[in-house]
Structure 1
């Protein structure tokens, strides 16, 4: 019995021991992953090192990101420039390559380029074959075949180039240049099997021909516009001369009338007495004063006729047609410069012009030319500066005129005065009608003969 109890106790102790060992094993297994925490300092050092490594990597990524951002901005800018160039070229932007001052010089250069092409064709340098072919063992037949092929090749190329030159306009020169280059490449690729090609020198001559044809047309158009400007200036001069001559004749007639009236009054005063005589003497004083004024007017008319360059510089705006801060600056030699402004306000624009300044100049053409030079950068039309429209402030115009007055003495600085605000009556009334503030009135307008003539001139 005692032995049995002893055995049972041993078994129990053994079981407890085994269970204890198992629990210890479980605990060791459970806490094995925390072995690294046993050395806190070592763990912190490893953690700091890891953080530093990650920070270095992060800094490197940040620098890489900044570099990429810079590259992206540069690429976007280049893309924008390319898109802008492509957009501009789509409108036919073309940079002149010759800049001859007359169309005749373009024509001479055009003929010279044509002659050079003929010389290249005659010398067999326009299109060449790199291999001496034989046909049926005959070099002569091979040479004939090669010449026929090169002739056919040049005919095809010249035909495409001639079509391009015939079609060239201000807005398609770039596309036609591309067309000629593509034709050149396509024909040469087809000719590879025969080891033949159109030479690049001949291509360059064809491109020069295209450029010259384009610039020749541009120069011809420029010359036509210049001729129209000269004709308009001549008409303006003739009108001014007629007005001056008419004013001179009227002044002479007025002087004669005053002289006759004065002579008659003097004859009458010799026979008059009393109050009648006093009245006639007073009348004589008035007539003498009027005669002096008439003679002064006559002298001014004579002086104006002799001063062939005198005239007025006008500054006008049309905000209804062109917007704010856009001014037309021109010159007229008419006695009444407002007549020129009324002509400008004809059928070509929807609203009449407003006058901001009319300034007399003893040398109006020179003053106008200098003023346009001062404001050239402000010109609205950069291609045709003769349009005389400028996007500029009135203060800038006044400043330029003051410089001209100081430089040439042809303008009196004291007479440089500007009306700052444009009346723009019809335009402002139109805006009010559009806003529903007023009702449109029935038009009683009938065109004048001057406007009809102006429309005919514009149509011509």
Structure 2
């Protein structure tokens, strides 16, 4: 008899040879053992033939597998011994047969029965061992699958944690950059340098130049090269350190004042007043130099040049914008002029058609009278047909028109003329429109030339007098510093069909006004 483990009700059955370890404790998930329950009891020895357990143990699986492997090795050794015994038996049987020994038959038969029992035990043990090994392999496979699932979850979690770490690192870098930018912005704002709306920001051509220039301006402020000063030039409360601090703070204040003035100059500059804005910024720099003379405070020359360039970019954009608007106004005026021309052509054609219909009717009536003279009507019809042909030619040929040369002595002086072109049916109407309320006196006409290529003739004259053009920005302002005689000579060279040209302007209103002014001045002089 030996002691064996007696599991409590609800506990799993342990292996037959299981021995608990020194610190073994029941699984907390098992039900508690009844009070007074004996965990170890006496039991007769187990049968010699091992039996396969119905279920695999829930603890000591590795130790159980090791014991089963040892038992299998024991069985294999017994099998080898049995084989040796069978061999000896066969030898002995042959000896007995040769000696005709019959009195040992019963012993041999008993030996054979015993060997058969041993073989049955070995077979049963091998079968049980194989079953245990299969069960162990199956449970091991389950454990491997569970372990693989856990490892997959762990890998997925590690990947997720890595991604979260990357996101947090990126956020940290962003926040760090934000803090750095905020500190940098604070430094720049302490010096009075702010990001304000600049006119050149709206220009595709100038925006990159402005961004580069602004980056250089900020770099000058950061490197403390925007303004220079001598910290040892001033003592405060008999303390050089306090004096140096005072000089530094005063220089920063002066730089703020200069930057504020530069910003105001940029915001207030307009097309055409860049020189005045530059002079204003120069005065601000000179004033700071005077106020900081005792401390050697001066705005850096390079920094001042950068702010001047920033001012120039704003003015350059505004000039281009003004030129664009002026060109758009001129284009609208040109389109209105074209519409007037088309209306005039339509009106002229309708008038000629009506007049021709009247003459055709009169000619038909006259032809019904014997001996009537139709020569005059036929000539008039021929002239009307010619006029209709000219009207249609002008409708089809947009380059045909009149080139005019006019001047306004009272408004612009004797050395300025306007050279233009019109497709009006009555070109004098265009000259009268130019002398409206926008000028003090009417224009005087020097030449009015019809040309099938009036556009080309006008362009040729403009090229010849391009060096004396008054407005070099807006090319549609067709005024030139030239005399009527100089334009007449150019017309002769380019056209050759100049029949009528007025060399000296009449300027009637201007001359009469001058005469009245001279008379009033004489009267005032006489009274005085």
TM-score higher than 0.5:
yes
Could you tell which deviates more after superposition, 312-321 or 422-431?
A: 422-431
Aligned mate of 2:307, from 206, 213, 237: 206
Aligned mate of 2:276, from 172, 175, 182: 172
Q: CA RMSD in A?
A: 4.1
**Aligned residue number for residue 423 of structure 1:** 506
More helix by share: 1
The offset of 1:307, in angstroms, is 0.9
**Aligned residue number for residue 49 of structure 1:** none
**Mapped partners of 1:117, 1:375: distance in 2:** 44
**Aligned residue number for residue 313 of structure 1:** 403
**Mapped partners of 1:422, 1:149: distance in 2:** 66
**Mapped partners of 2:379, 2:326: distance in 1:** 51
The offset of 1:390, in angstroms, is 3.0
**Mapped partners of 1:119, 1:311: distance in 2:** 60
Note closer, same or farther for the CA distance 1:110–1:341 as it changes in structure 2 (3 Å cut). same
Give the SS at the match of 2:286. helix
| Structure 2: tracts of 5 or more residues without a match | 1-199, 232-244, 521-528
**Aligned residue number for residue 84 of structure 1:** none
Which of 1 and 2 has higher RCO (CA within 8 Å, sep 6+)? 1
Note closer, same or farther for the CA distance 1:218–1:376 as it changes in structure 2 (3 Å cut). same
Residue deviations 1:215-271, cap 9 Å, x none?
2222222222222222222222221121122212222333333334444545xx2xx
Note closer, same or farther for the CA distance 1:385–1:190 as it changes in structure 2 (3 Å cut). farther
Q: Does 1:277 align with 2:370?
A: yes
Q: Does 1:159 align with 2:159?
A: no
Larger CA Rg, structure 1 vs 2 = 2
**Aligned residue number for residue 48 of structure 2:** none
Note closer, same or farther for the CA distance 1:434–1:128 as it changes in structure 2 (3 Å cut). closer
**Mapped partners of 1:211, 1:185: distance in 2:** 23
The offset of 1:331, in angstroms, is 1.7
| Structure 1: tracts of 5 or more residues without a match | 1-99, 132-143, 270-275, 406-412, 438-460
Could you tell which deviates more after superposition, 338-347 or 217-226?
A: 217-226
**Mapped partners of 1:416, 1:286: distance in 2:** 29
Note closer, same or farther for the CA distance 1:327–1:198 as it changes in structure 2 (3 Å cut). closer
Note closer, same or farther for the CA distance 1:180–1:368 as it changes in structure 2 (3 Å cut). farther
Q: How many residues get paired?
A: 308
Note closer, same or farther for the CA distance 1:107–1:239 as it changes in structure 2 (3 Å cut). farther
**Aligned residue number for residue 356 of structure 2:** 255
Q: TM-score, normalised by structure 2?
A: 0.49
Give the SS at the match of 2:449. strand
Q: Does 1:117 align with 2:217?
A: yes
Q: Does 1:297 align with 2:398?
A: no
Give the SS at the match of 1:277. coil
**Mapped partners of 1:344, 1:359: distance in 2:** 18
Aligned mate of 1:333, from 398, 423, 433: 423
The offset of 1:334, in angstroms, is 0.7
